[in-house]
Amino acid sequence: MKSTFKRASVFCALAAALFVAACTAVNTATAAPPAGAPAPAFTAVDSNGKKHSLSDFKGKIVVLEWVNFDCPFVVRHYKSGNMQALQRKYTAKGVVWLSINSSAAGKQGHFAPAEINAKIKERNAAPTAYLIDTEGTIGKAYGAKTTPHMYVIDQAGNLVYQGAIDDSVSTDANEKAKVNYVEAALEAVMAGKPVATPTTKPYGCSVKY
């Protein structure tokens, strides 16, 4: 009886250790790099089959926008025209804007390239490219947790902003934000100034890894 109890205890302890290790591995994989750190390198194919690497945009300001067109929070920003306006305003100034979808195959927000392009056209979106991250490799490297989850990378390749797009946690397209964090970060970087608020808490739907 004691032997059986001892084996059960050892099994439980081993199972607990494995569970902790697994959780730690997941947390490590999805930990966001700190503000000011070099932006993690990546390569991905866009909705038109073209390959893009972060290194392609060396010397340029880059915005990463995690997107899921089925998410109500994303719908808000596209229905109001807010996201498209930002995309057009800053790409016209030389900023590279990469929309990234990390939804796994079979999960909400995952679409075939033709569907993606149809949705981009329907929403009149204007990113530099829409990257498909089905395996979640880029999302996990950046610790992307929500849609939208926004990142700004400066000309030196450093992550200078990460978090929410603005201070209005709402799905109402008529809701007006007091502060657009992404716009503020971009204006600071273009002026050669430090970003006043480099990190905020992102809001939205969870990324469907």
Question: pLDDT tens for residues 131-166?
Answer: 999 999 999 999 999 999 999 999 999 999 999 999
pTM of the model: 0.85
Q: Does 73 share its domain with 12?
A: no
CA distance 97 to 99: 7
Distances in Å between the alpha carbon of 103 and those of 12, 19, 86, 169?
A: 34, 25, 23, 22
Q: Does 62 share its domain with 23?
A: no
* Greater model confidence, 63 or 175: 63
Angle separating helix axes 72-79 and 82-91, nearest 10 degrees: 60
Q: Does 106 share its domain with 177?
A: yes
pLDDT recorded at residue 173: 86
Q: Does 200 share its domain with 121?
A: yes
Q: What is the mean pLDDT of the chain?
A: 88
pLDDT recorded at residue 125: 98
pLDDT recorded at residue 11: 36
Q: Does 19 share its domain with 122?
A: no
Q: Does 1 share its domain with 87?
A: no
**Residue range 59-63: average pLDDT?**
98
CA distance 177 to 110: 28
- Which residue range is the domain that position 120 belongs to? 31-206
Q: Does 116 share its domain with 187?
A: yes
Min mean pLDDT across 18-27, 31-40, 110-119 is at 18-27
Q: Does 98 share its domain with 170?
A: yes
Cβ contacts of residue 8 below 8 Å, gap of 6+?
Answer: none
Looking at the predicted structure, is the pLDDT value of residue 85 above 80? yes
Q: Does 7 share its domain with 61?
A: no
pLDDT recorded at residue 72: 97
The total number of structural domains that make up the chain: 2
User: Is residue 137 a contact partner of residue 98, using CB atoms and an 8 Å limit?
Assistant: no
Domain containing 190 — which CATH number? 3.40.30.10
pLDDT recorded at residue 30: 59
Q: Does 128 share its domain with 175?
A: yes
**Residue range 160-187: average pLDDT?**
95
pLDDT recorded at residue 66: 98
Q: Does 109 share its domain with 13?
A: no
